Amino acid sequence: MPGRGRHNSRMQQISVALLNVSLLGGLVARWCYRFGLHGKLRITRHELQLEPGQLTKPLVIAFASDFHGGPTTHPDLFAVLLEALIAQRPDVLLLGGDYVWSRSAQVQVLAQMLSHCNPPLGKFGVLGNHDLWTDDAPIVSALQAAGVDILINENRALPAPFDSVSICGIDDPWTGKADLERAFEGAGPLRIFLTHSPDAMLLLDGRKFGVAFAGHTHGGQVAFPDGTQILTAGGPLARTYGRGRFDIAGNGTLIVSRGVGCSNIPVRINSDPELVICVLRP
Protein backbone atom coordinates (compact mmCIF):
# COMPACT_ATOMS: atom_id res chain seq x y z
CA MET A 1 0.00 0.00 0.00
CA PRO A 2 1.53 3.37 -0.94
CA GLY A 3 1.94 6.11 1.63
CA ARG A 4 -0.97 8.48 2.17
CA GLY A 5 1.12 11.61 2.36
CA ARG A 6 2.63 14.05 -0.06
CA HIS A 7 5.61 12.26 -1.50
CA ASN A 8 8.94 13.96 -2.07
CA SER A 9 9.36 15.64 -5.44
CA ARG A 10 11.74 14.07 -7.93
CA MET A 11 14.39 16.62 -7.00
CA GLN A 12 13.95 15.85 -3.30
CA GLN A 13 14.25 12.13 -4.00
CA ILE A 14 17.52 12.72 -5.84
CA SER A 15 18.79 14.86 -2.95
CA VAL A 16 17.92 12.14 -0.42
CA ALA A 17 19.63 9.50 -2.57
CA LEU A 18 22.81 11.58 -2.84
CA LEU A 19 22.79 12.30 0.89
CA ASN A 20 22.33 8.60 1.60
CA VAL A 21 25.42 7.81 -0.47
CA SER A 22 27.43 10.47 1.37
CA LEU A 23 26.38 8.95 4.71
CA LEU A 24 28.00 5.64 3.66
CA GLY A 25 25.00 3.56 4.67
CA GLY A 26 25.20 4.65 8.30
CA LEU A 27 28.99 4.56 8.79
CA VAL A 28 29.16 8.32 9.25
CA ALA A 29 26.43 8.13 11.92
CA ARG A 30 28.39 5.39 13.67
CA TRP A 31 31.50 7.57 13.79
CA CYS A 32 29.50 10.58 14.96
CA TYR A 33 27.84 8.55 17.70
CA ARG A 34 31.17 7.13 18.85
CA PHE A 35 32.63 10.62 19.17
CA GLY A 36 29.60 11.99 21.01
CA LEU A 37 28.22 14.03 18.13
CA HIS A 38 24.72 12.59 18.52
CA GLY A 39 24.64 14.22 21.94
CA LYS A 40 23.67 12.46 25.17
CA LEU A 41 20.11 11.38 25.89
CA ARG A 42 18.60 13.69 28.51
CA ILE A 43 15.48 13.18 30.58
CA THR A 44 13.38 16.32 30.93
CA ARG A 45 10.74 16.32 33.66
CA HIS A 46 7.55 18.33 33.80
CA GLU A 47 4.82 18.38 36.44
CA LEU A 48 1.34 19.74 35.77
CA GLN A 49 -1.14 20.38 38.56
CA LEU A 50 -4.63 19.67 37.29
CA GLU A 51 -7.92 21.11 38.44
CA PRO A 52 -9.60 19.20 41.28
CA GLY A 53 -11.57 16.15 40.19
CA GLN A 54 -9.80 15.54 36.87
CA LEU A 55 -7.71 12.63 38.20
CA THR A 56 -7.78 10.48 41.31
CA LYS A 57 -4.05 9.66 41.24
CA PRO A 58 -0.96 10.92 39.38
CA LEU A 59 -0.49 9.87 35.74
CA VAL A 60 3.09 9.47 34.51
CA ILE A 61 3.53 10.02 30.77
CA ALA A 62 6.67 9.34 28.73
CA PHE A 63 6.99 11.09 25.38
CA ALA A 64 9.61 10.55 22.68
CA SER A 65 9.67 11.69 19.08
CA ASP A 66 11.70 12.04 15.87
CA PHE A 67 13.68 8.81 15.92
CA HIS A 68 14.77 8.88 12.25
CA GLY A 69 15.81 5.26 11.98
CA GLY A 70 18.25 4.88 9.10
CA PRO A 71 21.68 6.17 8.07
CA THR A 72 21.47 9.45 10.00
CA THR A 73 20.95 7.92 13.47
CA HIS A 74 23.05 5.21 15.06
CA PRO A 75 20.75 2.46 16.41
CA ASP A 76 22.62 2.24 19.73
CA LEU A 77 20.79 5.44 20.65
CA PHE A 78 17.54 3.45 20.64
CA ALA A 79 19.03 0.97 23.12
CA VAL A 80 19.91 3.87 25.43
CA LEU A 81 16.34 5.15 25.09
CA LEU A 82 14.94 1.72 25.98
CA GLU A 83 17.07 1.57 29.13
CA ALA A 84 15.81 5.00 30.16
CA LEU A 85 12.18 4.06 29.54
CA ILE A 86 12.47 0.87 31.57
CA ALA A 87 14.11 2.78 34.42
CA GLN A 88 11.46 5.54 34.43
CA ARG A 89 8.50 3.10 34.50
CA PRO A 90 5.87 5.44 32.97
CA ASP A 91 2.17 4.59 33.02
CA VAL A 92 1.84 5.32 29.30
CA LEU A 93 4.23 5.95 26.40
CA LEU A 94 3.46 8.49 23.66
CA LEU A 95 5.38 8.64 20.37
CA GLY A 96 5.49 11.73 18.17
CA GLY A 97 6.32 10.30 14.73
CA ASP A 98 9.19 10.44 12.24
CA TYR A 99 10.15 6.86 12.97
CA VAL A 100 12.28 6.66 9.81
CA TRP A 101 14.45 8.94 7.74
CA SER A 102 13.79 7.89 4.13
CA ARG A 103 12.57 4.28 3.82
CA SER A 104 9.83 2.35 5.62
CA ALA A 105 12.13 -0.62 6.32
CA GLN A 106 14.22 1.63 8.56
CA VAL A 107 11.55 1.28 11.27
CA GLN A 108 12.51 -2.30 12.14
CA VAL A 109 15.26 -1.65 14.72
CA LEU A 110 13.10 0.90 16.52
CA ALA A 111 10.04 -1.37 16.45
CA GLN A 112 12.08 -4.19 17.96
CA MET A 113 13.18 -1.86 20.75
CA LEU A 114 9.63 -0.69 21.42
CA SER A 115 8.39 -4.27 21.71
CA HIS A 116 10.42 -4.55 24.94
CA CYS A 117 8.81 -1.50 26.54
CA ASN A 118 5.32 -2.20 27.86
CA PRO A 119 3.83 0.47 30.13
CA PRO A 120 0.67 -0.72 31.91
CA LEU A 121 -1.64 1.76 30.13
CA GLY A 122 -0.24 1.20 26.65
CA LYS A 123 1.77 2.81 23.87
CA PHE A 124 0.27 5.35 21.44
CA GLY A 125 1.77 7.19 18.50
CA VAL A 126 1.14 9.46 15.54
CA LEU A 127 2.87 9.71 12.17
CA GLY A 128 5.28 12.43 11.07
CA ASN A 129 6.17 13.97 7.75
CA HIS A 130 9.10 11.60 7.11
CA ASP A 131 6.77 8.62 7.64
CA LEU A 132 4.33 10.05 5.11
CA TRP A 133 7.09 10.78 2.59
CA THR A 134 7.63 7.03 2.36
CA ASP A 135 5.23 4.06 2.51
CA ASP A 136 3.56 4.58 5.88
CA ALA A 137 1.53 1.34 5.85
CA PRO A 138 4.57 -0.91 6.62
CA ILE A 139 5.63 1.54 9.32
CA VAL A 140 2.21 1.36 10.96
CA SER A 141 2.20 -2.46 10.68
CA ALA A 142 5.63 -2.79 12.28
CA LEU A 143 4.71 -0.47 15.15
CA GLN A 144 1.38 -2.21 15.71
CA ALA A 145 3.21 -5.53 15.90
CA ALA A 146 5.34 -3.93 18.64
CA GLY A 147 2.18 -3.01 20.55
CA VAL A 148 1.93 0.66 19.51
CA ASP A 149 -1.55 1.99 18.76
CA ILE A 150 -1.13 4.49 15.90
CA LEU A 151 -3.76 7.23 16.05
CA ILE A 152 -4.73 8.90 12.78
CA ASN A 153 -7.42 11.46 13.63
CA GLU A 154 -8.88 9.37 16.45
CA ASN A 155 -8.76 9.00 20.21
CA ARG A 156 -8.47 6.28 22.81
CA ALA A 157 -9.70 6.32 26.40
CA LEU A 158 -7.30 5.02 29.02
CA PRO A 159 -8.49 2.25 31.34
CA ALA A 160 -9.69 2.88 34.90
CA PRO A 161 -8.80 4.65 37.10
CA PHE A 162 -7.78 6.98 34.26
CA ASP A 163 -10.92 6.50 32.16
CA SER A 164 -11.55 10.27 32.17
CA VAL A 165 -8.39 10.63 30.04
CA SER A 166 -8.37 10.34 26.25
CA ILE A 167 -5.31 10.31 23.98
CA CYS A 168 -6.26 12.35 20.89
CA GLY A 169 -3.89 11.86 17.97
CA ILE A 170 -3.92 13.56 14.58
CA ASP A 171 -2.36 12.98 11.19
CA ASP A 172 0.63 15.18 10.36
CA PRO A 173 -0.67 18.73 9.89
CA TRP A 174 1.00 19.36 6.51
CA THR A 175 1.97 16.09 4.81
CA GLY A 176 -1.10 14.21 6.02
CA LYS A 177 -4.77 15.09 6.41
CA ALA A 178 -5.20 16.31 9.95
CA ASP A 179 -8.80 16.26 11.17
CA LEU A 180 -9.11 17.58 14.70
CA GLU A 181 -12.89 17.25 14.72
CA ARG A 182 -12.61 13.50 14.29
CA ALA A 183 -9.64 13.27 16.67
CA PHE A 184 -11.53 14.98 19.51
CA GLU A 185 -14.99 13.52 18.82
CA GLY A 186 -16.32 11.65 21.86
CA ALA A 187 -13.11 12.20 23.85
CA GLY A 188 -13.18 12.30 27.63
CA PRO A 189 -13.00 15.47 29.72
CA LEU A 190 -9.20 15.33 30.11
CA ARG A 191 -7.68 15.35 26.64
CA ILE A 192 -4.04 14.61 25.93
CA PHE A 193 -3.36 15.96 22.45
CA LEU A 194 -0.68 14.12 20.46
CA THR A 195 0.68 15.67 17.25
CA HIS A 196 3.91 15.41 15.31
CA SER A 197 4.25 19.14 14.74
CA PRO A 198 3.48 22.13 16.95
CA ASP A 199 1.82 23.63 13.87
CA ALA A 200 -1.29 21.77 15.03
CA MET A 201 -1.85 24.71 17.39
CA LEU A 202 -3.00 26.62 14.29
CA LEU A 203 -5.78 24.10 13.69
CA LEU A 204 -7.44 23.96 17.13
CA ASP A 205 -10.40 26.21 16.25
CA GLY A 206 -11.46 26.49 19.88
CA ARG A 207 -10.93 22.85 20.82
CA LYS A 208 -9.56 22.36 24.33
CA PHE A 209 -6.87 20.05 25.65
CA GLY A 210 -5.21 19.55 29.01
CA VAL A 211 -1.69 18.91 27.72
CA ALA A 212 -0.30 18.53 24.20
CA PHE A 213 2.88 16.83 23.04
CA ALA A 214 4.74 17.59 19.80
CA GLY A 215 8.12 17.03 18.20
CA HIS A 216 9.30 17.79 14.65
CA THR A 217 11.57 20.72 15.53
CA HIS A 218 14.52 18.73 16.98
CA GLY A 219 15.07 21.87 19.05
CA GLY A 220 16.96 23.02 15.98
CA GLN A 221 19.25 19.94 16.15
CA VAL A 222 22.10 22.44 15.76
CA ALA A 223 21.72 25.40 18.11
CA PHE A 224 23.61 28.08 19.97
CA PRO A 225 24.50 27.36 23.65
CA ASP A 226 21.40 29.25 24.82
CA GLY A 227 19.19 26.95 22.73
CA THR A 228 18.51 29.40 19.91
CA GLN A 229 18.04 27.35 16.77
CA ILE A 230 20.54 27.61 13.94
CA LEU A 231 18.77 25.04 11.83
CA THR A 232 14.98 25.24 11.74
CA ALA A 233 12.45 22.57 10.76
CA GLY A 234 9.70 23.40 8.30
CA GLY A 235 6.45 24.92 9.50
CA PRO A 236 5.35 28.36 10.73
CA LEU A 237 5.54 27.48 14.45
CA ALA A 238 8.79 25.47 14.41
CA ARG A 239 10.78 28.39 15.82
CA THR A 240 8.02 29.85 18.03
CA TYR A 241 7.57 26.51 19.78
CA GLY A 242 11.04 25.13 19.17
CA ARG A 243 11.60 23.24 22.43
CA GLY A 244 10.27 23.11 25.96
CA ARG A 245 7.01 24.00 27.66
CA PHE A 246 4.49 26.61 26.57
CA ASP A 247 1.16 27.82 27.91
CA ILE A 248 -1.24 28.12 24.99
CA ALA A 249 -3.55 31.10 25.54
CA GLY A 250 -7.07 30.00 26.38
CA ASN A 251 -6.05 26.35 26.35
CA GLY A 252 -3.65 23.91 27.98
CA THR A 253 0.10 23.26 28.12
CA LEU A 254 2.17 22.36 25.05
CA ILE A 255 5.40 20.39 25.50
CA VAL A 256 7.72 20.23 22.49
CA SER A 257 10.49 17.63 22.53
CA ARG A 258 13.92 17.97 20.95
CA GLY A 259 13.44 14.45 19.64
CA VAL A 260 15.78 11.47 19.72
CA GLY A 261 17.45 10.92 16.34
CA CYS A 262 19.09 13.03 13.66
CA SER A 263 17.71 14.17 10.33
CA ASN A 264 19.82 14.91 7.23
CA ILE A 265 23.08 15.25 9.18
CA PRO A 266 24.09 12.80 11.94
CA VAL A 267 25.05 15.58 14.35
CA ARG A 268 23.41 17.36 17.28
CA ILE A 269 24.97 20.46 18.79
CA ASN A 270 23.47 22.08 21.91
CA SER A 271 20.30 20.08 21.31
CA ASP A 272 20.72 16.72 23.01
CA PRO A 273 18.28 13.83 22.39
CA GLU A 274 15.39 13.99 24.81
CA LEU A 275 12.98 11.74 26.66
CA VAL A 276 10.16 13.74 28.23
CA ILE A 277 8.59 12.55 31.48
CA CYS A 278 5.43 14.44 32.39
CA VAL A 279 3.51 13.84 35.62
CA LEU A 280 -0.12 14.96 35.74
CA ARG A 281 -1.08 15.48 39.39
CA PRO A 282 -4.64 15.64 40.75
Which structural domains are found in the chain, ordered by start?
Answer: 10-281 (3.60.21.10)
Cα angle: 242, vertex 151, 247; to 5 degrees:
35
Q: Are the C-beta atoms of 259 and 218 separated by less than 8 Å?
A: yes
238 to each of 120, 149, 191, how far by Cα in Å? 33, 26, 23
Per-residue pLDDT of the chain (282 residues; tens, 9 = 90+): 445 555 555 666 666 666 666 677 778 888 899 999 999 999 999 999 998 889 999 999 999 999 999 999 999 999 999 999 999 999 999 999 999 998 899 999 999 999 999 999 999 999 999 999 988 999 999 999 999 999 999 999 999 999 999 999 999 999 999 999 999 999 999 999 999 999 999 999 999 999 999 999 999 999 999 999 998 899 999 999 999 999 998 899 999 999 999 998 999 999 999 999 999 999
Tell me what pLDDT residue 5 has. 52
Any bridge partners for residue 247, and if so which?
253
Q: Are the C-beta atoms of 260 and 63 separated by less than 8 Å?
A: no
pLDDT tens digits, 172-208 = 999 999 999 999 999 999 999 999 999 999 999 999 9
pTM for this predicted structure = 0.94
